[in-house]
Structure 1
Amino acid sequence: MAVTGLTALDMLNLPVHHAYGWEQRLLGHASAPRAREYEARSHTTHLAWNGTRLASSQRLTRVSKSLALPGIVGPWDCPLTHPLEALVAAAPVLPLWRITACLDAMISLRVVAEGRTVIQPLAVDHVAELLAHLPPRAQSVVRVRQALKLAQGPTISSMETLLRLVLLTCGLQPMETNHPFMMDGRWVYPDLAWPADMVALEYNGRPHWENGQAYGDENYRIQRLRDHGWQVRVVVLDDLRDPKRRMELLQWLFHHLDPARARRSQSPLQHVRGR
């Protein structure tokens, strides 16, 4: 038996929480097929069996057959299914952008549990290869494969994923994530950037304002980027959630980006007025 699904993803600190509802409507994503089960599953231990299944009457325990990807050893030497297998097991209750955020984390960051690395960042091609070993028509596998087309590294946080997907949906040109820029003798990495236009967005969430030192360092870094000629705008959650503020963000971006490289196939500002 190995831990899988939401339980394993949570143990590995992968971003499976904080789905809001409005973001799926804005992105045009269909609801997860079993979205209503998310709350119950998040309070249930999910185990995967490999071999002969034993009958179990344990409450608050979910048991499903393993997909047989190579397992890993997690916190406290606990056997876990591969994080990709755990994501497939959890996919029926997760919105598509959350699946994408988990994939972004897997291809961008070391997965660390209890202070040690349990898995190194995965190449996109390797993720696709692992998915190819799973039932190709299974709904969960199809959803993870769909999310993999949206994944982009390096991405450091799930809110960077959401910000990027919202901007692409609203007609913005593809951007670079955590673009390296040498400043004052060291590398800095704006969250989202259009380097040719020297335009960048920085997403500020709870970790920024809960830690005074981090908040001060972040503001200093942003000001130094501006001193070096970058146009930088700080984005918070309500800038995405509120239609008026979202429109203002888009107008600011289209004002600062080179129109010759902007998309012409749709009117991005009209696209968001009704959402």
Structure 2
Amino acid sequence: MLYHQRPLLFGPEPTVITTLEAGGVASRVAKKPHMHQLARGLWVVRETPPSPMERAVLLQKHLGRPGARLAVGGVHGLELLQLPVGGTDPWIERLLGSTAPVSPAGLAAQRQRVHLFWRDARVQTRQEGIRIGASKGLALLPGPWSSAVAHPVESLAVISRDLAPWRITACLDALISTEFGCPGTAKRCVFPPERVQECLDQLPPRSYGAVRLRRAWEDARSPCWSPAETLTRLIAVRSGLPEPILNHEVEVAGQRFVLDLAWPGVGDGAGVALEYNGAVHAREVQQYRDEMHRLTLLRDAGWDVRVITWDDLKMPLRREMWLGHLKRVCG
């Protein structure tokens, strides 16, 4: 099972040429059709300009010098693996007790910046919007257009200042819960918990990013299939509830179902469970019908299943209703 993220699509790799190859004068090259500046001295030949993510991948391949290996890192490196990098609402940080709220502007700036890691030979640049740092030596991953992607632990450490703690935990949950592959590559990668721990140990122990990652790592669990599951679990546990079993498999009426968060053996029946329904349940009629049938079978089998949505997490009165029910049943 793959983590619930929308797939990224990469078309054919565009041609990249130097200013000299394009005509020798940057101001004249910029006026030519289908020419888009990739960086100082480099141009992409294509009808549409590259996206920030495509720009990061192309710069990884064309910036630097022979013998220097670069890798795409930062936000773009994480999004190439389809990890749930994103912002957070202030109410979440207040609810979970974050002592250092993050600014949305910080993550927005990270998305516009290309972050690369160098290995073997030092690479520097003064070009605006490009940051190149030394890799800590963690494994590289294959990326689209035969590029290299930095290890997600390194990228998380770099941008951790601009991610809320629960978002870092959501990325770590995703990392240890499934296999990943970058768009345009056939190779799949897995990140078992013991390997992630080894990677965390390779980071400078007192660095800001390493400290934030280790704190978030304490809350990481698997298997987890969406950031909403991570958030729901953290809210429940912070409220005093026991740790749930994530994506708990049960067999009912000859069919196997998976419960998002489950507390088996609790209450008067088979157990109690929470199901988080996202936007797809409202858009897809057939999925909604299948979900109603599944809930009926589970409840007939003795499962006390509560279905919650984003508003049930966000709105205090609605949140207290399901939390209060769980506390009564689990108590």
Greater RCO, 1 or 2 (C-alpha within 8 Å, sep 6+):
1
Q: Distance in 1 between the 2:145 and 2:255 partners?
A: 37
> Does the Cα contact within 8 Å between 2:125 and 2:131 map onto a contact in 1?
no
What's the CA shift for 1:116?
5.2
1:56 aligns with 2:129: no
Matches within 5 A, 1:148-167: 148-167=217-236
Give the match for residue 46 of structure 2: none
Give the match for residue 267 of structure 1: none
Aligned partner of residue 127 in structure 2, secondary structure = coil
- Higher strand fraction: Structure 1 or Structure 2? 2
Unaligned runs of 5+ in 2: 1-69
What's the CA shift for 1:33?
6.6
State which structure, 1 or 2, has the greater radius of gyration over its C-alpha atoms: 2
1:215 aligns with 2:288: yes
Q: Distance in 1 between the 2:120 and 2:327 partners?
A: 56
Alignment match of 1:87 (pick from 140, 143, 156):
156
Give the match for residue 300 of structure 2: 227
> Does the Cα contact within 8 Å between 2:93 and 2:101 map onto a contact in 1?
no
Task: Map Cα deviations across residues 26-62 of structure 1 (whole Å, 9 max, x no partner).
Answer: 0002236776421111122221122443342333322
Give the match for residue 10 of structure 1: 79
Aligned partner of residue 53 in structure 1, secondary structure = coil
> Does the Cα contact within 8 Å between 1:76 and 1:114 map onto a contact in 2?
no
When residues 18 and 203 of structure 1 are mapped into structure 2, their CA distance, relative to the original with a 3 A threshold, is farther
Give the match for residue 328 of structure 2: 255
What's the CA shift for 1:216?
2.2
> Does the Cα contact within 8 Å between 2:87 and 2:107 map onto a contact in 1?
no
When residues 215 and 116 of structure 1 are mapped into structure 2, their CA distance, relative to the original with a 3 A threshold, is farther
> Does the Cα contact within 8 Å between 1:111 and 1:117 map onto a contact in 2?
no
What's the CA shift for 1:240?
1.2
Aligned partner of residue 131 in structure 2, secondary structure = strand
What's the CA shift for 1:65?
1.9
Give the match for residue 132 of structure 1: 201
Matches within 5 A, 1:39-188: 39-114=108-183, 118-188=187-257
Aligned partner of residue 231 in structure 1, secondary structure = strand
> Does the Cα contact within 8 Å between 2:87 and 2:104 map onto a contact in 1?
no
When residues 32 and 131 of structure 1 are mapped into structure 2, their CA distance, relative to the original with a 3 A threshold, is farther
4+ residue segments displaced more than 3 Å: 32-36, 51-55, 115-121
Q: Distance in 2 between the 1:176 and 1:244 partners?
A: 25
What's the CA shift for 1:215?
2.4
1:195 aligns with 2:264: yes
Unaligned runs of 5+ in 1: 260-275
Q: Distance in 2 between the 1:3 and 1:235 partners?
A: 37
Identity of aligned residues (%): 39
Aligned partner of residue 248 in structure 2, secondary structure = coil
2:157 is aligned with what amino acid? V
Task: Map Cα deviations across residues 159-182 of structure 1 (whole Å, 9 max, x no partner).
Answer: 000000011111111111001111
Give the match for residue 240 of structure 1: 313
